[in-house]
Amino acid sequence: MKAIKIEIPSLPENIRMIESFIDNAKEEFQLEDDIYGNIMIAVTEAVNNAIVHGNGNDTNKNVALTLQILDHRIKFTVQDQGNGFDYSTLPDPTSPENLTKPGGRGIFLMKNLCDQVSFKDNGKVVELDFYMS
């Protein structure tokens, strides 16, 4: 199993570093364009959520991103240093009363772009799995 880890301070502009990390992974593991696009959107969304919601934009707190290659899948683990959240009670962003609300679509997007999404440690850790052909 191969694992690569990056840790960034909770600054929105650090998403650029995450994008470069994913670009490097695309090259190193020869990811196809369709899976690469899904990874880019889902992982940057997860990291952004960790920065904004998990760590509350506290620059003294970091977000860790780990990439693992396992059999026929690639797993990204995003961990923040916040208090976690109850991921089972999130409102449905596709219901009519939520369609015009800003935000609330990140986890919905992740679930639709990843093959599997898991929350651990009271929501402080999210695992995003993508199957590779």
Q: Which pLDDT value is given to residue 102?
A: 66
Owner of token pair 């409102």:
91
Single-letter amino acid code for the residue at 85: F
- In DSSP terms, 65 is beta-bridged to 6, 78
Residue 105: pLDDT band (50, 70, 90) is: confident
Distance separating the N- and C-terminal Cα atoms of the chain: 17
Domain of residue 57, CATH code: 3.30.565.10
Q: Domain count for the chain, please give it.
A: 1
Cα separation, 61 vs 125, whole angstroms:
14
pLDDT digits (tens, 9 = 90+) for 46-98: 999 999 999 999 999 999 999 999 989 999 999 999 999 887 777 777 788 87
Inter-residue contact 53 to 124 (CB < 8 Å): no
- Among candidates 111, 119, 115, which has minimal Cα distance to 129? 115
**Residue recorded with tokens 């990291």:** 47
DSSP 3-state assignment of 125?
strand
Q: Which domain holds residue 25?
A: 2-131
